[in-house]
């Protein structure tokens, strides 16, 4: 296959294929700060908390478990999600944090998930788990990637894990022996082979959602905050999540716009 990508594009493409993910510094700090600011504002409004100084944002987020009751967590999370998805600039700023890497790995005619997801994982909380899974197994398109943005530093059990491509190939070859297992049993069998993603606020993760991934109980002393959203090439195949329902084009080029609208002239 002919490949006209430049050296940098080839390098990050090979790294993404090898590891199944990339961590990079956002090329748009203003957009990243905007995302966090909207969440901070809504936390304070919903939870009736005094708005902290900017230097104290980490303290509020990391120690959120000290300010609420666990039984209220899901209701608070849903209210924050609804608020940020009503913000007309939120999805645009989310995209702008990762525009360059998306153009290099996915393409410049993109569809973006309609709603951004927010995860809040309190220490020792067993109600906010995302068991081992591959998005493809539940009907997503293999042409999608996930942009995962931490709002705090994430490490050890205060983060997500992913099964690297090299290790997934071994599982794939013997998938039949895993297929009858529960997610928990499946994870126990591959636990020693997963990669725990260490990532700080200011960095962004893009990963291959076809690889098995998930999280476990957060055994650290801080609350985890992270967001995720899927992107794909507009004209690549869709899975169960269709364009117009789950995805929306965000960077359609003029040639494509004109082609979509074009109609052959009628000859009577």
In the prediction, which pLDDT does 1 show? 76
Contact 118, 80 (CB under 8 A): yes
In the prediction, which pLDDT does 2 show? 83
Domains and CATH numbers, the chain: 7-239+246-261 (2.60.120.10)
What is the tens place of the pLDDT at every residue in 230-248? 999 999 999 999 999 999 9
What is the tens place of the pLDDT at every residue in 117-169? 999 999 999 988 999 999 999 899 999 999 999 999 999 999 999 999 999 99
> What 3-state class would DSSP assign to 60?
helix
CA distance linking residue 213 with residue 225, whole number of Å: 17
Which residue is listed with tokens 């700023």? 93
Contact 23, 97 (CB under 8 A): no
Mean per-residue pLDDT over the chain, rounded: 95
Q: Report the percentage of the chain scoring pLDDT > 70.
A: 100
Residue 176 has pLDDT above 90, yes or no: no
Contact 79, 42 (CB under 8 A): yes
CA 82 centroid distance within chain: 17
Residue 177 has pLDDT above 80, yes or no: no
> What 3-state class would DSSP assign to 189?
helix
pLDDT class of 27 with cuts at 50, 70, 90: confident
Other CB atoms within 10 A of residue 266 CB: 5
Residue 71: Cβ-neighbour burial (10 angstroms; 0-12, 13-18, 19+):
exposed
CA distance linking residue 151 with residue 40, whole number of Å: 10
In the prediction, which pLDDT does 173 show? 86
Residue 260 has pLDDT above 90, yes or no: yes
Residue 3 has pLDDT above 90, yes or no: no
Which residue is listed with tokens 């005094």? 50
The arrangement of strands across the sheet holding 161-162 comes to 195-196, 161-162, 213-214
CA distance linking residue 225 with residue 241, whole number of Å: 25
- Whole-model pTM? 0.95
Distances (CA, A) of 140 to 71, 127, 266: 31, 24, 39
Distances (CA, A) of 10 to 5, 46, 164, 204, 254: 6, 46, 19, 20, 27
Other CB atoms within 10 A of residue 23 CB: 16
pLDDT class of 90 with cuts at 50, 70, 90: very high
């Amino acid at each position: 296959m002919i490949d006209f990508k430049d050296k940098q594009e080839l390098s990050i493409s090979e790294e993404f294929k090898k590891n199944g993910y990339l961590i990079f510094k956002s090329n748009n700090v203003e957009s990243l700060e905007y995302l966090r600011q909207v969440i901070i504002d809504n936390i304070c409004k919903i939870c009736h908390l005094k708005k902290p100084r900017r230097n104290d944002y980490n303290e509020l987020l990391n120690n959120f478990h000290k300010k609420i009751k666990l039984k209220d967590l899901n209701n608070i999370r849903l209210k924050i999600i609804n608020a940020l998805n009503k913000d007309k600039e939120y999805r645009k700023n989310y995209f702008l944090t990762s525009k360059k890497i998306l153009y290099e790995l996915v393409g410049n005619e993109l569809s973006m998930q309609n709603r951004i997801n927010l995860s809040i994982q309190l220490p020792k909380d067993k109600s906010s788990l995302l068991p081992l899974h591959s998005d493809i197994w539940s009907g997503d398109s293999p042409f999608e990637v996930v942009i995962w943005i931490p709002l705090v530093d994430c490490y050890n059990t205060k983060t997500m894990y992913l099964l690297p491509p090299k290790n997934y190939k071994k599982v794939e070859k013997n998938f039949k022996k895993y297929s009858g297992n529960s997610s928990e049993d499946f994870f126990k069998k591959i636990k020693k082979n997963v990669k725990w993603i260490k990532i700080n606020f200011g960095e962004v993760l893009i990963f291959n959602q076809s690889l098995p991934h998930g999280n476990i109980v957060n055994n650290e002393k801080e609350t985890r905050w992270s967001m995720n959203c899927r992107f794909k090439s507009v004209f690549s195949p869709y899975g169960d999540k269709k364009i117009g329902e789950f995805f929306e084009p965000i960077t359609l080029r003029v040639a494509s716009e004109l082609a979509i609208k074009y109609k052959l002239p009628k000859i009577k």
